Structure 1
Amino acid sequence: MEKRMKESGESHDDPFAPHLAALAVLDDRGVVVGWNRRAEELLGHPVAAVIGRPASEVLADPGDLPAVGEAAVRCRRAGGWHGVLNLRHRDGQIVEMGLRAQPLSRGDGIREWLLAGASTADVLEWQRDRAVLDGLYRRCPIGLVVHGPDLRLLRVNRAIERFTGVPAAEFRGLSTGCYLLPDDARRAVDRVRQVMETGRPMVYSEQFVRLEWDPARERVAMVSSFPMEDPSGRVLGVAEMIEDITERHQAQRRLALLDQAGSRIGTTLDVAETARELAEVMVPHLADHASVDLLQPVTRGEEPAQALAGPVVRVGACGVGAQQAGPPHPQGEPVQFAPGTPQARCLAEGRPVLEPVLSADWFSTEGRQGAHAPDLSAHSLIVVPVAARGLVLGVMTLWRSRRPDPFEADDLTLALELASRAAVSIDNARRFTQQQQTAFTLQSSLLPRAVPDQSAVEVALRYLPASAAPGLGGDWFDVIPLSGTRVALVVGDVVGRGIHAAATMGRLRTAVHTLASLDLEPDEVLSRLDDLVDLLAAEQEAVGERPVGEQVVGATCLYAVYDPVSGRCTGARAGHPPPVVTAPDGQAAVLDLPAGPPLGVGGLPFEARDVELAEGSLLCLYTNGLIGERQIDTDLGLAKLCAALARPANALERTCQAVVDALVPARPADDVALLIARTRMLSPDDVASWSLPSEPASAARARALTSAKLSEWGLEHLAFTTELIASELVTNVYRYAGGPATLRLIRERCLVCEVSDSSHTSPHLRHARTTDEGGRGLFLVAQMTERWGTRYTREGKTVWTEQSLTGTFA
């Protein structure tokens, strides 16, 4: 009986199996002639109570007798029966059981019936297991592969058939990994062998595979492997659950690429760097080669043309392998895409171009037209516009050559999204570049473009804008020629940054020039600047640009005047770092000038101080960005500056650069303005000075002295005009000042004539009427000189004139 059941294909888990089922044998009249122990356990009737009795009397529920009769009729007609009947337990309870009936024949021709029964719960569970097993092989969307101990396939389900494109029946007996490329097949064999030898399952292992019949497409499978064992623990093989997660993996990879792009693109406000970041994000995750070409105006920070696709500049390129994205045209040079190329069409229409497969003909035509393929092995192409805020800024081109699978529509969508995100950053960088260029143009126009022609000092200048701080700074320097061959050296720093700081700097610099032209003393210049800063602050408060009482406009300034005739330097500072003086022997020291309050603070007067400078001394003026006042101790910064100036080079420019190299970091946090002046002295032979008493004869004496000195200097052609000038100025001293006069002639780049007295009365130029007997002296002086003016000192005033050494009076 057990042999027949095994031959019918029943498994050991079958509830109707001989060792699990309740078995009974009935003769042809329905009398019980056989009864096993399992039947006694399920129904409670011992063997003696049922043998020889009709089964319908002992086992059947009286209410279910019609069903028993119908089952008996079907069994006789069909030669067998199976179904569910209600049987009576010995204690009277009803037991619902699944039954199977099969005919048995003996040699004497007597026919008997074998009944196998099991509880319906066991039958239903077994049927569910059978349904699950059937579903795994026929309907499950997840692949199932069963490997034998000899690493040959025993069975696969329909999902594997759909995954590989090979009918499931053809897999039986094939070697493991037979449908994969050799390298992938080798890894599959190693995986199955490892699970079989260790007995440890491998759960959710991602495998990248290529099928033998479709090697161009890379697939991703999630594989879970586990050993199969019999009750004794003997390994019967390995089963693998294989799920094709290619689309899910690609979606996750695209999301990861988008997330990565968000953190890697747009880290700086630099157009070229942002374009390079975009190209580097694309390789190798999406493409083997990537290039970003921007319209030429965009790279300069300008607005691109709306309808014209002009020359482009390759500003970003990246590639894998030996080629390294070797485009035909180098980066940074303008190139015009030929008409008809994908890039030209994309620029003109603003639409993406997808070429999933590039044929040899494509390279022979498009390549000659300037499609700029990195090499002839490229087989797939994407070109997308780099557009932001309605403007096409350029194009991004993606190539695949090493990766065999072509670009798909989803890749195009991802490229568009990444290019769109990067385009906003590129446009922001373009706008920032435009603003920076405008701002630096403004700032450059406010700073001196060249050192004025003068002989008092040799000057070297440096201006270094802050690389870390946004906006313009308010640092400035100036070299202003003064009367008497003197020169004013100025360095200042406006509080804050931005356009307001730059504009304030420009206004202060203009004011310094105006005050310098009045030949005011350094402390007086700073006092006038302090008044101007207060006025600017009041203007801002009046128009609501700052809260009442809050100091926004402020500045520091150092103003020094050097006289090459006397070698004396007079300086004053308003809250500014002190200058450093280096003697000709290389000894550098900080010049002790009274600090004074910053401009706009008020409350204390400014104080000037004189110092004698030997010829060849270095006078260094700077802003606080040079000594790192915001980051390090001021004394330490000054010590470093003195050390750098203690080794002056013969060339002043080299000294200036050495100071920058020693003190300024690669990315300065604050603007730096640096002015270094090497002092010069006029030769005594080029200066003549006489003291004249306050008497009428002094005018004639001045003419005689002037004529003699000009003859000595070889400037006889200036004698007439200079005699007239000296005579008129000395006469004015006699008539209006009432004290001795000092006449001084200086031969430098021009001829300077000065007359000093102890009076502070200012001479005025006026137009004399025809009836006036006097009043024409200064008018004549003004007509015969290039420049003239008056400067005041604590002892009095000096009227000075300048004439060209080559000029003549007609």
Structure 2
Amino acid sequence: MNDAAKSLFPQQVPPPRWHHGESVGIAERSYAAHRVDNEDGSVTWWLLDETDLRLERERAALLTRMSNALMTSLNPERCMTVVAELAATHLADEALVIAPQSNHGHPVTRCLRGEAATYELQHIDVDEVVGLSEALRGFPPVPSRWIDPAVAPEWLAKDGVSIVVTPLPGHGVPAGALILVRRDKAFSEDEESFARLFASRAGVAMSAAHLFTQQAVITERLTRDLLPPTLRRYDRVELAGRYRAAADTERVGGDFYDVHELPGDDLFVVLGDVCGKGLDAAAQTGKVRTALHALLQVVTDHDQMLQALNQALLSSDQSRFITTVVGTVRPVDEGLRVTLTGGGHLPPLIVRAGGSVEVARTRGTLVGILPEITTTTDEVVLAPGDSCLLYTDGITEACGGPLGDEEFGEDRLRRALRFCGGMPAEALVEHVHMLAAQWVGAGVHDDMAVLAITAPRRRTS
């Protein structure tokens, strides 16, 4: 034995029973045994220390498994739970993941090895733990030997022997801090380094989950404002609307309708179609709806309103032209007096209680593409049971049918409405929407919007 072998085997050992290439464990180290057969018949064994290499391989594999587990959820609470469970399983006897403070305290996930993690909001003093306040601000960790478990607060650990506090770095902003607690032995420098590697991956995962949730909340709030409103009930007017975006994966698009209350019992209604579809068209829809609401505060004349809207759209750098119908609904003794003005949109259809269908005279020109526009106004009276149906071309241009390549068309819509006389507004829009959806089937379609104005039937005593 050479000097290295004598150091490894202080006492004489029997002939080894190793196999060439196998790993041999000696004194808590791992060696690769290599056999060399000599010409004189003797055998030489070389033992190559592979402990550190094996440990690095195991840690690399473990980090890969951890990273895969961390990316399984974009929910912040669930992500914190995964971080705590992984840390308690592989790094310490107990792990705490602490997120930056919110209005209701610090989100804290705690996990004991072999137990399920718990999540709660806690009001904690981060200055009670050495390095925790700094870690939450993204500063480098302090060595575990600087932290005295004996003075750790009760909420952290009562019987810890060694404590590690390390930051969880996020996307430019700290995602929180990781606290590891051991009860049997201290952390080595290598173990603290490995904990920091894990923390770097955990911080990225937590930060991604937080950003995703934040963006989802923002998207939900913005989408809610872009969707057509929920229509309220009125004593002398029935209103109902339906909307369906072009893509089943999207909630907003270029079709819209709105209802605004005017002085007295009058109502202002508008239905329109912005050129295009998807998010860009929805953004333009929001601008148009906002502009109309603002104009309504200073002018109620339909022609003046559409002229002003036309100028507003022309002055916008990223404007898209629209087609629209605006109307004023006034309860009268005969039922409802509806004044309708069109700006390049499909004319509304008047569905009489007896089953006849009339076409309003409201063509006009597109809004937002020409310096000057022309509008056409028509006035109709809805007797009890009559309805006025406003709709977008997503209904009439719905392509489908038996062969899948035929438009639903205005004529087919009018024929279908002959059987809808006397229907309540809610039933009417549901029926029209269902007919178009059945015609399209699983095919591609444009945005669809339908708005019905109905004069309620009078109750008889």
Q: In the alignment, which residue of structure 2 is the partner of 1:416?
A: 196
The aligned counterpart of 1:529 is 309
Secondary structure at 2:192's aligned position in 1?
helix
SS in 1 for 2:269: strand
Give secondary structure in 2 for the equivalent of 1:296.
coil
- 1:505 corresponding residue in structure 2: 286
Listed as ranges, the matches of 1:330-729 within 5 Å are 330-331=119-120, 333-337=121-125, 340-341=128-129, 344=132, 347=135, 350-352=139-141, 355=144, 366=152, 369-371=154-156, 381-387=163-169, 392-398=174-180, 407-420=187-200, 423=203, 454-455=234-235, 456-458=237-239, 477-482=257-262, 485-491=265-271, 505-506=286-287, 508-515=289-296, 518-521=299-302, 525-526=305-306, 528-537=308-317, 552-554=318-320, 556=322, 558-561=324-327, 562=329, 565=332, 566-567=335-336, 599-602=367-370, 615=385, 679-681=454-456, 683=458
Measure, in 1, the Cα distance between the counterparts of 2:181 and 2:386: 65
The number of aligned residues is 420
Tell me: CA distance 1:277–1:338, structure 2 relative to 1, closer, same or farther (3 Å).
Answer: closer
Gap change, CA 1:527 and 1:413, over 3 Å in 2: same
Per-residue deviation, residues 140-178 of structure 1 (Å, max 9, x unmatched): xxxxxxxxxxxxxxxxxx44x65xx54251x2168x5xx
Distance 1:553 1:573 in 2: 20
* 1:509 CA drift (Å): 2.1
Report the alpha carbon displacement of residue 600 of structure 1 after superposing the two structures with TM: 2.9
Structure 2 Cα separation of the partners of residues 634 and 281 of structure 1:
58
Q: Mark the structure with the bigger radius of gyration.
A: 1
Aligned equivalent of 2:115, options 305, 308, 323 = 323
Contact preservation (8 Å) 2:75, 2:213: yes
CA distance in 1: counterparts of 2:386 and 2:45, whole angstroms:
90
SS at match of 1:313: strand
8 Å Cα contact 2:425/2:454 also seen in 1 = no
Helix, strand or coil at the partner of 1:532: helix
Deviation for aligned residue 1:514: 2.1
Cα distance between partner residues in 2 of 1:255 and 1:623: 59
Residue 533 of structure 1, CA deviation: 0.6
1:229-250, CA deviations, whole angstroms, 9 ceiling, x for partnerless residues? 999xxxx999865433221233
Alignment check: 8 A CA contact 1:461 1:675 kept: yes
Q: Is the Cα–Cα contact under 8 Å of residues 228 and 243 in structure 2 kept in the other structure?
A: no
**Cα pair 2:96 2:179 within 8 Å, conserved:** yes
Distance 2:351 2:25 in 1: 77
Q: Report the equivalent of 2:10.
A: 167
Contact 1:482 1:517 in 2 (8 A): no
1:728-747 mapped onto 2 (5 Å cutoff): none
The question of whether the paired residues in 2 share the 8 Å contact of 1:474 and 1:496 is answered with: yes
CA distance in 1, matches of 2:140, 2:269: 60
- What is the identity, as a one-letter code, of the residue corresponding to 1:536? S
Q: Is the contact made by 1:490 and 1:558 (CA closer than 8 Å) also made in structure 2?
A: yes
Q: Which amino acid aligns with 2:454?
A: T
Give the corresponding residue for 2:107: 313
Contact 1:386–1:393, Cα closer than 8 Å, also in 2? yes
In structure 2, distance between residues paired with 1:319 and 1:467: 44
Paired residue type of 1:679: T
Partner of residue 722, structure 1: none
Q: d(CA) in 1 for partners of 2:209 and 2:133?
A: 25
CA distance in 2, matches of 1:229, 1:582: 106
Could you tell me whether the CA contact under 8 Å between 2:226 and 2:285 is conserved in 1? no
Closer, same or farther in 2 for the Cα pair 1:675/1:346, shift >3 Å?
A: farther
Q: Offset at 1:296? A: 2.5
Q: Which runs of 5+ in 2 are unaligned?
A: 438-446
Deviation at 1:449, TM superposition (A): 8.3
Is 1:293 the counterpart of 2:78? The answer is no
TM-score, scaled relative to structure 2: 0.58
| CA apart distance, 1:480 | 1.1
Task: List aligned pairs for 1:60-75, cutoff 5 A.
Answer: none
For residue 168 of structure 2, give the secondary structure of its aligned residue in structure 1.
strand
Q: Deviations over 1:183-230 (max 9, x none)?
A: xxxxx8xxx5xxxxxxxxx64x5x5x866x65xxxx55445579x799
- Amino acid aligned to 2:166: V
Question: How much does 1:369 deviate?
Answer: 0.9
Paired amino acid for 1:601: I
Which is bigger in relative contact order (C-alpha 8 A, separation at least 6)? 2
Per-residue CA distance 1:424-482 (angstroms, 9 max, x = gap): 67557767766776787678778898867844235579999x9989xx98876521124
Contact map agreement 2:32 2:49 (CA 8 A) in 1: yes
Distance 2:248 2:62 in 1: 31
Shift of 1:384: 0.6
After superposition, the CA RMSD in angstroms is: 6.5
Mapped partners of 2:321, 2:239: distance in 1: 27
Cα pair 1:584 1:616 within 8 Å, conserved: yes
SS at match of 2:369: coil
Distance 1:432 1:675 in 2: 34
Which residue, 44, 49, 61 being the options, matches 1:244?
49
SS of the residue 1:536 aligns to:
coil
Unmatched 5+ stretches in structure 1: 1-136, 140-157, 177-187, 193-201, 301-309, 538-551, 664-671, 686-810
SS, match of residue 98 in structure 2: strand
- Checking the alignment, whether the CA contact within 8 Å between 2:99 and 2:106 is kept in structure 1 is yes
